[in-house]
Structure 1
Amino acid sequence: MNWMIYGANGYTGKLVAQQAKQRGLTPILAGRNGEAIHKLAGELELPSCVVNLNDTQALQQALTDIDLVVHCAGPFEVTAKPMIEACLASKTHYVDITGELSVFEYAHAQHERAAAAGIVLCPGVGFDVIPTDCVAAKLKQKLPDATHLALGFDSASRMSRGTAKTSVRRLGEGGAVRANGTITTVPLAYRTREIDFGNGNKFAMTIPWGDVSTAFYTTGIPNIEVYIPASPKLVSKLKKLNWLRWLLRIEGVKKFLEKKVDRQPAGPSDKQLEQATTYVWGEARNAAGITETLRVQVLNGYKLTSMGAIDVAMHIVSQQPAGGYYTPALLCGEQLVEKYYV
């Protein structure tokens, strides 16, 4: 198989590349930063390729003999579409590590084109959204007539710069939930509740996590919310920030916030990668008020992503599923998360 990790020089892309090397795999490391890509490829003794996503012709040519791309270059709201379009043109399987709602929805909208091309489109093959997607699938099995689904996670790990940039770019769009089958824009910190994610009760708020999109396609449950722990002080600040969301949608403001993120560490430390595990929680409820709850503890999100991206890629290669859009649980089964239990 010829396959590529695009954006291999980023924080998470490098983890994916290192994971591939540890498994004795030989992906092509690619990206637009020639110096960084060639340096990493030299260190890992892997082939490399320099290509810019904005150069449509060069990108399609680079993918001509590539069977699968693991796309790791964010922000995915900018980078996913050109890579997906190039994969459709070159008939190359596509997976990525996004958590961005717009990317999941765009990929889902290309289902018929992907089916016709015979390729898999499966965004979110990392911590966004393998654990929560699999928990959602397991809850659907336990409560087939569920009408409401709440998911959430608690992690002590630092965000990577890429994840932080995505978060600040999304602030101006507000929150998001799925209501009666439709993704609905809501205020930041829209709802709060007490949740035991697996390590004691914590105050939590809704966030516009990828499962607002993906869990619907996995389970068919029409009402979905996703939560993370948050202090009452942070919730209060976000509620006030709702009045300034228009300002946060200005590209210049986004760039300013991204520059502040650039001053942060690249991502979790080696110690956090090994020790900062993640608690994942889910709750399904039906019209009669019956509920089912599930809690699991998994690896650090970035370590899980480095493993999950490779696992899903190898699943596609070995199983050769029919072309089309998939969520991780639909593609690999709800048991996929069990590989990453702590």
Structure 2
Amino acid sequence: MEWMIYGANGYTGELMARYAVEQGMRPVLAGRNGKAVEALATELKLPFRIFSLEQVDSVAAELNDMQLVVHCAGPFELTAEPMMQACLKSKTHYLDITGELDIFERAAALNAKAEEAGIVLCPGVGFDVIPTDCVAAKLKEQLPDATHLKLGFDSRSRMSRGTAKTSVRRIGHGGAIRRDGKIVHVPLAYKAEKIDFGGGEKLAMTIPWGDVSTAYHSTGIHNIEVYIPASPKLVKRMRQMNWFRWLFRAEFMKRWLMKKVDQQPAGPKDNEREQHVTWVWGEARNAQGETVVLREKVLNGYTLTAQGGVTMAQYLLNHTVNGGFKTPSALYGSHLVDKFRVA
């Protein structure tokens, strides 16, 4: 069965392509950078295609013989919409590795069209958001009447260029939480509290992580916040940025910051990924004040993303699934996180 990794020449796309080959799979590698995609495909002895995402009809034509695509080319606020629309036209399952809140909500809004086309739209099949989504689902199983959910993760791994670009493009929009079932935009570092993610108690602050969307769709819990560790100095700096974060919404500022990001290394090296695993934490609370806490120690985020994309592709290639918008835990089950747990 034919499937594609689009953006295969990017840092995470290449990790995914190499892992797929290790698993005995032969995805079609694709992207707009002809030389880079061809070089990787030649090395891995895989078929490849070169195309951009500018015209939906043209993209759909490239996907007509594909059962699914794992979309790895960000920033997804620019690339996800044309790829999802093309997948609807070509009736190709859509997976991606985004953590961008708006992309999850957009995919959810396309649920009816995906059902009609008979395809799955499942963003976030990497570190964004497999482990946190599964922790959310497990907490819901343990506390079915939960009304409040907090999630978070502690990762000391440095960012890839793609992750950094997404972050700088998003910073001007501030933070986000879910309150009473609705996404509410809040200031940067809106809340800060001490949390033991698994490696000891740390100060942490809220971030607009994708689970503000996905955990709601996975669990139905109406109040959701997501946290990462942050020093007091960083919390203070982020709160000061709220006074002028409007500046970061300007395209010229985004372009300048992205050029700065391009000067950084592509992403963490193999030994860094092996050393820097991730703690994932969640706490559910019901109206009576009962709480349940869950912690998972999982692979480095980039390693998990490479393996997660391939794992979900294998699942869809080998199972008949009703079309529509899905979260990773809803598609595969909350036990998906077990595949990426480390001792």
Q: CA deviation at 1:58?
A: 2.0
Aligned position for 1:305: 305
1:60-71 aligned at under 5 Å gives the runs 60-71=60-71
1:153-168 aligned at under 5 Å gives the runs 153-168=153-168
What's the TM-score once normalised by structure 1's chain length? 0.99
What's the TM-score once normalised by structure 2's chain length? 0.99
The DSSP-based 3-state class of the residue aligned with 1:176 is: strand
The DSSP-based 3-state class of the residue aligned with 2:125 is: coil
Q: Distance in 2 between matches of 1:248 and 1:128?
A: 23
Does structure 1 residue 109 correspond to structure 2 residue 109? yes
For the 8 Å contact 2:55–2:82, the answer to whether it is kept is no
The DSSP-based 3-state class of the residue aligned with 1:243 is: coil
Does structure 1 residue 150 correspond to structure 2 residue 154? no
The DSSP-based 3-state class of the residue aligned with 1:37 is: helix
1:71-90 aligned at under 5 Å gives the runs 71-90=71-90
Q: Distance in 2 between matches of 1:137 and 1:64?
A: 34
Aligned position for 1:211: 211
Aligned position for 2:265: 265
Aligned position for 1:179: 179
Does structure 1 residue 52 correspond to structure 2 residue 52? yes
The DSSP-based 3-state class of the residue aligned with 1:81 is: helix
Aligned position for 1:133: 133
Q: Distance in 2 between matches of 1:169 and 1:320?
A: 37
Aligned position for 1:96: 96
Percent of paired sites with the same residue: 63
Residue deviations 1:258-308 (CA, integer Å, cap 9, x gap): 111111111111111112100000000011111000001000000001111
Q: CA deviation at 1:245?
A: 1.4
Query: Residue 163 of structure 1 aligns to which amino acid in structure 2?
Result: T
The DSSP-based 3-state class of the residue aligned with 1:30 is: strand
Q: CA deviation at 1:233?
A: 0.4
Number of residue pairs matched?
342
Q: CA deviation at 1:55?
A: 2.6
Q: Distance in 2 between matches of 1:301 and 1:75?
A: 17
Q: Distance in 2 between matches of 1:322 and 1:64?
A: 19
Q: CA deviation at 1:172?
A: 0.4
Q: Distance in 1 between matches of 2:22 and 2:75?
A: 27
Q: Distance in 2 between matches of 1:246 and 1:298?
A: 36
Q: Distance in 1 between matches of 2:292 and 2:144?
A: 10
Aligned position for 2:6: 6
Residue deviations 1:230-274 (CA, integer Å, cap 9, x gap): 000011111010011111100000111111111111111111111
Does structure 1 residue 220 correspond to structure 2 residue 233? no
RMSD: 0.6
Q: CA deviation at 1:317?
A: 1.4
Aligned position for 2:42: 42
Q: Distance in 1 between matches of 2:243 and 2:132?
A: 31
Moved over 6 A (4+): none
Q: Distance in 2 between matches of 1:162 and 1:246?
A: 22
Residue deviations 1:157-176 (CA, integer Å, cap 9, x gap): 11110000100100100000
Aligned position for 2:279: 279
Query: Residue 258 of structure 1 aligns to which amino acid in structure 2?
Result: M
Residue deviations 1:158-199 (CA, integer Å, cap 9, x gap): 111000010010010000000000000000000000000000
Q: CA deviation at 1:94?
A: 0.3
Query: Residue 18 of structure 1 aligns to which amino acid in structure 2?
Result: R
**Structure 1: any 5+ residue segments left out of the alignment?**
none
The DSSP-based 3-state class of the residue aligned with 2:242 is: helix
The DSSP-based 3-state class of the residue aligned with 1:159 is: coil
